Structures are given as C-alpha cells and as structure tokens.
Amino acid sequence: MKNSTSAVVYACIAVLSWSTVATAFKIALTHLTHFEMLLIASCTSLIIFALLLTFQKKWKLVSELSGRQWGYFALLGLLNPVAYYLVLFKAYDLLPAQVAQPINYAWPIVLLILLALFAHQPIPPKKYIGMFISLGGVVLISVGTGQSGGMDIPVHGLLLAALSALLWAMYWMINNKFKDKTDGSIALFMSFLFGTAYLLIGAVGVGVHLDTLPGILSGMYVGGFEMGIPFIFFSLAMRKTSNPALVNQLCYLSPFLSLFFIAMILGEQIVFTTYIGLALIVMGIMFNQYLVKK
C-alpha cells in the first residue's frame, strides 16, 4: 500500500473512531457515573499505550526520562486525562449529545485566544471573522437547540462543555510546546500513567461500583476508541502522508458523522439549529486555518 493511500486509511480509521464516541459516552453514562467511566477508560488506554511501547520497543526511552520530565508528565496527566475528561463526561451527562459534542469541538477558537494571551502570538485581524463565525455556531446550538427541540439544556452543562474546550486547548498548547523533547508514544503513556494513578487514588475516596458488564464494556470502548486507538492511527497518518492538510481536513467529517450515530443509535432528534451551528463552528475553524495567512 502506498504511503499516501495508507495515510488516508489510517486517518479514516481515526475519524470513524472519534465519530462514535459521543454516542458511546451517553450509553456508558446510563450504567456508570462520569468518574467511573473515566476510570475504566483511562485504565484501558494505559494498557493500549503500554502495548504500543512494547511493539515499538521503546521502554528504554521511559527509563531515560529525566526527573524534570517525570514532573512535567505528572502535571500533564492531571490536566489530561483527569481534569479534561471529568469535565467533558459530566457535560455529556447533563446535556444532549448533539449539544455537548459541537461546543467541545470549538476548542481551536479558544486556543487562538490562549496563544494570544500567554504565548504572545497576536491574532491576525482576519481571524476574528472565523472566531465570530464559530462562536455564533456555539451560541446557536446553546440557545436554539433547547427552543427548537424542546430539550432541557441546563446552563451549568453548557458551562462545563465550554470549560472542556478550554481545558483541551490548554493541554494542546502545553503539550505542543514540549512535543519535540519527548517521543509522542512516550508522552501519551506517561500522561495516562499519572492520570490513571490519580484516578485510582481518587476512587478510594469517591467510591466506585463497577458491577455491570455493559458499563465496564462501554467504558472500555471509550478508552479504546476515544483516547487510545484513534490517536495512534492519526499519528501514523500524519507520519505517512505527504499532504498533512488533507489528513487534517478529514477530521472535520467526524462531528457530522457523529450526529448520524447520535440520531440512529441514541434516538436523539437532531434539530436544524444543531446542523447549522455545527456547520458554522467548522466553517470558522477552517476559515482561520486555511484561508487566513499565518
């Protein structure tokens, strides 16, 4: 298989995986609390990343990490998977999937603001156009979905979904700053090693009841197809491709495919404001990424 073809195949596997997880979140939350779901998912992802290091024969690189790098990953693991996914899963627990997913997807807009504030990267004037388009989509979904579909949209659920976008943007910014200093597979393993350890300690105080097989299996699915497998395949796609822009553009299919699964499997009636709002979010992100000179 040619590199360009295999890159597209790998990217499609990642996109298809991410497209199913919003539905998987809601199914898992019928059996588990958001903390229990994250505990199972994080353990599953840690096993996947450990197997990846074994396959790639990179365990020696773990032993070569400096004390400073261990400290860095101890902090990073607190942000992702712990803080980010606890907030995200609670948002899904409170909101319809068709609302939580698009709002979380607006994180690139939040990233622009963070880079301007903390990395001193000024926002080009034209990028404000894309930002306002995307934010308009967020507002339309937040306000219009409840009115059009007659759904209960709690304000604190919307705030949690917005907070999840902020946390992911923070994680991306911090991780991207240090990505050249650590192998990508090692970084994922170490983050989830610390994250899982924090969650296991937290489980002692919170108390968990993992006594349903559907709950455990759905939590494992989330760990495999949200946190583990798609990151591996997307990384492979970016490594194989000669056209990174194409691979990135394929990711924009994910939220729209996700609405299909939400409607077909969860039975949520997707209202027109969700489609329009999601389209605006994606249009704003693509406008800033591809049409505005960096």
Amino acid at 182: T
Q: How far apart are the first and last CA of the chain?
A: 34
Residue 176: pLDDT band with limits 50, 70, 90: confident
Instruction: Number of helices (H) and strands (E) in the chain: give both, helices first.
Output: 16, 0
Instruction: Determine the pLDDT at residue 292.
Output: 76
User: What would the mean pLDDT of 43-60 be, rounded to a whole number?
Assistant: 95
Rounded CA-CA distance 132/129 in Å is 5
- Examine the pLDDT at 99 and tell me if it is beyond 70: yes
* Single pTM value for the model: 0.92
**Is residue 45 within 8 Å of 185, Cβ to Cβ?**
no
Compute how many other C-beta atoms are within 10 angstroms of the C-beta atom of residue 1.
8
pLDDT above 80: residue 242 = no
Domain spans, the chain:
3-291
Tens digits of per-residue pLDDT, 109-142?
999 999 898 888 888 889 999 999 999 999 999 8
State whether the Cα torsion 78-79-83-89 is positive or negative.
negative
Residue 147 binned pLDDT confidence (cut-offs 50, 70, 90): low
